Amino acid sequence: MNNVLTPAVNINRKWKLAAYLFYPTGVIRIWKSKRKLWLRLLYTIIGLPLFLAVVLFVGITGFALFLPPLDMTVGNRPDRTIYNSNGNYKSTLLKTGAETNGAYELIKVEVEPHGGNEWHYHKNFEEHFTVLKGTAKVGKNGQEYLVKQGDSATAYKREMHYFANPTDSTIQLLVRATPARGLEKSIRVVYGLANDGQFNGPITKNPWHMALLLGYSGTYLPNIPGFIQEPLVDALAKIAQWKGEDKSIEKYFK
């Protein structure tokens, strides 16, 4: 008899435990139980924000599934060199994604003294950096390297990386993104917003513009799990486009 009942008892216990994972049923179950008051309060207080965060995440990403894909195109613009007057440096488009049929983008980038970007990664393309002038610092997967003139480094897909100028003089990098995604568009928008004073530190004044920038550049940040961050960033960028927030920055890329 015991051998027959034991599996059924174990299954019942598993279902009871599973009920606690779904917050609404978990709250009802725990307050009907005879567990200690502090345990019931702890579950209720901690579980509520977690449940709301999950509902918000599912709602945002689910809604975005029904929206058009993010528009990564750039208009046929005559300007090949884009200036950032805020830092007095520029980037020159040597090959655009349209010119290579989406195979790659090639851009010569100036980096101001002690400028650069922070740790990040891309899931859809790799970046190959060649130092044309000066010395760059390149971070890859927690390690940092000095890359001198004529030398190169590659950040592969999903590889955490950054590049920076550790010197007191402007340096030049040749950046090749393979395949072409939104590098040209993101640079045009970043420089344009910077020139118009639309940044508060590293963040845009309009948070929807930040979502679009992250979407255009396919940029994801450290310390946030990819299974949360990637669909959320992609969804917020699509929602920003659906809201028409890209209309106010069209002058930078159309």
Note the pLDDT of residue 5: 47
Answer whether residue 202 shows pLDDT above 70.
yes
Tokens 């190959």 correspond to what residue? 128
Please give the average per-residue pLDDT across 190-211, as a whole number.
Answer: 96
Note the pLDDT of residue 21: 80
Note the pLDDT of residue 13: 65
Q: Mind listing the pLDDT tens digit for each residue in 177-187?
A: 999 999 999 99
Answer whether residue 89 shows pLDDT above 90.
no
Domains and CATH numbers, the chain: 2-64 (no CATH), 81-252 (2.60.120.10)
The pLDDT mean for the chain works out to 92
Q: pLDDT-derived band of residue 165, with 50, 70 and 90 as boundaries?
A: very high
Note the pLDDT of residue 187: 95
The CA–CA distances, whole Å, from 134 to 148, 222, 247 equal 6, 28, 38
* Pairing of β 126-133 and β 171-178: antiparallel
Bond into 78 cis (ω within 30): no
Q: Mind listing the pLDDT tens digit for each residue in 17-66?
A: 777 788 898 999 899 988 899 999 999 999 999 999 999 999 999 999 99
Inter-residue contact 30 to 42 (CB < 8 Å): no
Q: Mind listing the pLDDT tens digit for each residue in 212-240?
A: 999 999 999 999 999 999 999 999 999 99
Percentage helix, strand, coil, to 5, in the chain? 45, 25, 30
Q: pLDDT-derived band of residue 15, with 50, 70 and 90 as boundaries?
A: low
Answer whether residue 204 shows pLDDT above 90.
yes
Would you call 245 helix, strand, or coil by DSSP?
helix
Note the pLDDT of residue 9: 47
Distance, in Å, from the CA atom of 106 to the CA atom of 95, rounded to the nearest integer, reads 5
Query: Over pLDDT 90: what percentage of the chain?
Result: 84
Answer whether residue 4 shows pLDDT above 70.
no
